[in-house]
Chain A
Amino acid sequence: VTIFGNVQQRTLEVVYDLGSGKIGFGAGGCQ
């Protein structure tokens, strides 16, 4: 299994929407 780890997620806004079954990524979430 490929694992997308937390270093790669740094500064991205990562949104988990379980109701809609989707994950969002946005640049500059806490830069």
Chain B
Amino acid sequence: ATAESNNLHLLHLNSLLPSSSCSSSTKGSKRKGSLEVVHKYGPCSQQNDGERKVTDSDILNLDKERVKYIHSRISKELGGDDSVKELDSATLPAKSGTLIGSGNYFVVVGLGTPKKDLSLIFDTGSDLTWTQCQPCARSCYSQQDPIFDPSKSSTYANITCTSTLCTQLSSATGNDPGCSSSTKACIYGIQYGDQSFSVGYFSRERLTVTATDVINNFLFGCGQNNQGLFGGSAGLIGLGRHPISFVQQTASKYNKIFSYCLPSTASSTGHLTFGGGGGAYRNLVYTPFSTLSRSSSFYGLDIVSITVDGVKLSLSPSLFSSGGAIIDSGTVITRLPPTAYATLRSAFRKGMSKYPTAPELSILDTCYDLSAYKDKDIFIPPINFVFGGSATVKLQPQGVLYVASTKQVCLAFAPNGDDSD
């Protein structure tokens, strides 16, 4: 009652900590087109071997690279361009940008006939779906699942470089496609600023989403030269807005509707569901999504205001509108204009003043040592985002705090480099 009357979140700290074992019963709406969502580094991931090899600092540093990639991709489409004019599978220059596949959540889908299961990171911030393919002509990184072998599938086919499908790759990946001189196969390339990349054949194949949902002739990248920090996953599933994305390719089946729920901790599972209808969604608030003039693949959002502890932050309305905003399943930490971040941080710190502080964690500069509260309730100031259309989204405590340990519980927001980013 006290928490309610003071507009605070009351929670038990343990509820923010992952357990050492997986609680895999998927909660939330589970339907015909539903896949289980798993955190890449949690106990539900088979990629983990029971031992977490990646630190929170690693995850946050990778997140920095992803944000740099998003900004560079948008500025590239503004005209600052450095796209690769002639890709081939042998050479691929390292480019400015970064790891598109650093998102932390994946699903398992089946590819080929007979189908082979692959763990793919799902990403609303990119368009091309790709996986590593045998014979890995140049290079493949280590992945948990066996690497897909197209020669053992009866439904695999390459796209030729004279096909109009091939030319779509330019806008989907930011790189013009190449053409195999011997087979005339279409060659895609997607590359990242930390020198991670995937290059290979642009192909079509049967994709098994669930036991009952099969997509024939799905366009994807069959990677022959893959290097980088993809964390044991077999590749990536692109859920952006481009015609080449999974969402657009399956429009007739799923009506361009999908949803997901990311679990509260790394030791539980969520879902990724394709298709809607049937009154599947209740108690939703909707906001129109917009198109960034500089990049049509991203899902643009209109942030109107932010409240902390029920008090609207005193910010100029133009602060959010000038640079625009996007929603991305692959970026871990929300990035705000520095002015907005400073104001939010100040209000949050005020609400948390009773708790001892802790050292910063990578990009997170507001952290608390809550080890003395491990078995007690804590109060945190709630944060709400108001989006266009008066859609007020109340963040859950799991959406406000990043818990590295009980000794280092951090405000899970970070600033961009400049208000104009």
For the A-B complex with A2-B320, A27-B283, A30-B263 known, give 8 more contacts whose Cβ atoms are closer than 8 Å. A2-B324, A3-B67, A4-B328, A10-B262, A13-B28, A25-B391, A26-B285, A30-B269
Contact A14 to B399, CB < 8 A, known contacts A1-B421, A5-B332, A7-B333: no
Binds A, one of B83-91, B141-149, B152-160, B252-260: B252-260
Asked if residues A8 and B395 are in contact (CB atoms below 8 Å), the reply is: yes
Q: How many residues of A contact B (CB 8 A)?
A: 29
Chain A residues within CB distance 8 Å of chain B: 1-19, 21-27, 29-31
**Shortest beta-carbon distance from B119 to chain A in Å:** 17
Partner of B334 from the list A8, A18, A29, A31 (CB cut-off 8 Å) is A8
Task: List 5 A-B pairs, Cβ < 8 Å.
Answer: A1-B416, A3-B325, A4-B301, A11-B396, A29-B261
Asked if residues B396 and A10 are in contact (CB atoms below 8 Å), the reply is: yes
B256: which A residues are within 8 A, CB to CB?
17-19
Asked if residues A5 and B284 are in contact (CB atoms below 8 Å), the reply is: no
A25: which B residues are within 8 A, CB to CB?
284-287, 391, 393
Asked if residues A1 and B331 are in contact (CB atoms below 8 Å), the reply is: no
Bound form: Cα–Cα A6–B389 in Å:
22
Question: Which of B63, B301, B396 has the most CB atoms of chain A within a 10 A radius of its CB?
Answer: B396
B329: which A residues are within 8 A, CB to CB?
6, 9
**Shortest beta-carbon distance from B151 to chain A in Å:** 35
Bound form: Cα–Cα A13–B282 in Å:
10
